[in-house]
Amino acid sequence: MERIYMDNAATTRVTEPVMAAMQPYFCEVFGNPMSIHGFGREARKAVENARRQVADALKADPSEIYFTGCGTESDNWAVRGTAYAQIRKGKHLITSAIEHHAIIHTCAQLEKEGFEVTYLPVDEFGVVDLVALEKAIRPDTTLISIMSANNEVGTIQPIEEIGRIAKAHNVLFHTDAVQAIGSVEFDVKKMNIDMLSMSGHKFHAPKGVGALYIRKGVRPQRLIHGGEQERGQRAGTENVASIIGLGKAIEIATANIPRHNAEVSAVRDRLIDRILREIPYTRLNGHRTQRLPGNCNISFEFIEGESMLLGLDLKGIAASTGSACASGSLDPSHVLLAMGLPHEIAHGSLRLSLCEENTLEQADKVVDALIEVVNRLRSLSPLYDDFIAAQKANKA
Amino acid sequence: MNYTEQVMDHFMNPRNVGEIENASGVGTVGNAKCGDIMKIYIKVKDNIIEDVKFKTFGCGAAIATSSKATEMVKGMTIDEALTVTNKMVAEALGGLPPVKIHCSVLAEEALRAAIQDYKDKLARGENPDEVPSVEPEEIQYV
Ligand code: FES
């Protein structure tokens, strides 16, 4: 059975050029970049090259890039580190209701520690309310943290405008760009971004490596204490091979973003158009155009997401859902609920997330499989029966 | 997802899917935790569950447990069927992930609700097979 992977928002595969770039840094170039000798210097040189690759992708200076263990660590560092570093200015933070748990749960913990957090609402398409943002800013606000693009519905936020508002009010601005790298063009200076989080495995680098851009002059408190790595700001021996992988991967991912977006969104649009046209009682979640090129999130009425995932999985197709039944916590997706979607619609949501390796043929196969899965599950659903019965009664 | 082979089998090939016309009893319950809905129909003859069918709006475990529960009680007397617990259904499926135990509770409750409906009809002196079951205005969430 040919397997089709459409869960690239969860993680991506390490591509061959990235793997090739990393290869020498296991057995041959194994020195500790902190060592003064030749072995160490080789490793140091490679790490600094990767730092420059990341900086170039963001139009930042290499001295503003810090490698971390993952996107979650970067988020924790930016939010918690800034909250404590600026405690004399105030204890109020602003974020949005649709952030990743790495932000939301960090903020919730800070609330327990005596900070105040405003969670900005979003509209039905998942766009953060900028009027609410302006209103929420207070003299004691120290940080605005808004994601660049949402992981579930793919909505791209008006980052430049948020940066402008933050700057006008003299508040620091952090963005979780974990989903956006490779799809959104970043120019951190022009966009007034003070801090930006990324995670390697979302763009074909390995898992277990991330980075945080911190604009010169901004100084969040450090999270991890120990050695003098990362200019004393993030202790712990560098994950050299993975850092090299991240550098190579971001170079490839940002080499030609317009072309990448055009190609990937063609496959996405095939998915969206065919599903909405060929499967009744479906709706697209998120914004139609202000959307990541690789994100397709659709709700199927009368059925539940986990059972859809299982059905697709048995056909070799990997997807994801915002359904309560699949969440472990049995809570439906906070993102879909914040967008005002009723529980039943969140329940039947399915996310297909693409990378540039997915093809139109795959999209067609997935839609064909989906039609079968949805029909079967609807034939099991009491809600569908009731709906059809009610429809017949209406006609009669 | 760590479902057993039995769960996957019942998910893919559910037994006893459907509705029963002129059912002796119908039970509809919802899952208070995740909002899923299960509906079980029974046909009782001489105190024996002659036929049983279900419809489920829910996760893989909910579909599999409703399928398994209907399979287990088919041919049982009413009293025997009432001894079937969610634990027995889960065990018969080779176990469920802890977070999915509540789905099997739904199967047990839907079955009990169907039997209760049947008993209520009898208590009212009605012929269960002739008097249609009244659909609850509001789904009972368990
Ligand atoms: S019915 Fe929702 S988790 Fe099983």
- For A64-106, write each residue's pLDDT tens digit: 999 999 999 999 999 999 999 999 999 999 999 999 999 999 9
The answer to whether B103 is a known catalytic residue is yes
Contact, A124 vs A210, CB < 8 A?
no
Phi, psi of A66 (to 5 degrees): -125, 130
Q: How far apart are the first and last CA of chain A?
A: 46
Task: Determine the pLDDT at residue A393.
Answer: 84
Q: If pLDDT is split at 50, 70 and 90, which confidence band does B1 have?
A: low
Q: Pick the residue whose CA is nearest to atom 2 on ligand 1.
A: A325
Q: Which CATH class is domain A4-11+256-395?
A: alpha beta
Per-residue pLDDT tens digits for A350-396: 999 999 999 999 999 999 999 999 999 999 999 888 888 888 888 77
Rounded CA gap, A200 and A273, in Å?
31
For residues B84-101, average pLDDT: 94
Q: Is A164 exposed, middle or buried (0-12, 13-18, 19+ CB in 10 A)?
A: middle
**Partner residues linked to B140 by β-bridges:** B29
Catalytic residue chosen out of the listed positions B103, B110, B111, B113? B103
Ligand 1 center to A182 CA (angstroms): 36
Ligand 1 center to B91 CA (angstroms): 17
- CATH 3.90.1150.10 residue ranges in chain A? 4-11+256-395
Rounded CA gap, A170 and A164, in Å?
10
Contact, B3 vs B60, CB < 8 A?
yes
The more confidently predicted of residues A330 and A22 is: A22
In CATH, the architecture of B5-123 is: Alpha-Beta Complex (3.90)
Decide whether any atom of ligand 1 lies within 6 Å of the A325 Cβ: yes
Question: pTM to 2 decimals?
Answer: 0.94
In ligand 1, the atom with minimum distance to the C-alpha of B35 is: 2
Contact, A270 vs A363, CB < 8 A?
yes
- CATH 3.40.640.10 residue ranges in chain A? 16-253
The CATH number for A16-253, chosen from 3.60.40.10, 3.40.50.300, 3.40.640.10, 3.30.420.40, is 3.40.640.10
Decide whether any atom of ligand 1 lies within 6 Å of the B100 Cβ: yes
Tell me which DSSP letter residue A184 carries.
Answer: B
Q: If pLDDT is split at 50, 70 and 90, which confidence band does A1 have?
A: confident
Chain B neighbours among A 215-244 (CB < 8 Å)? Answer: none
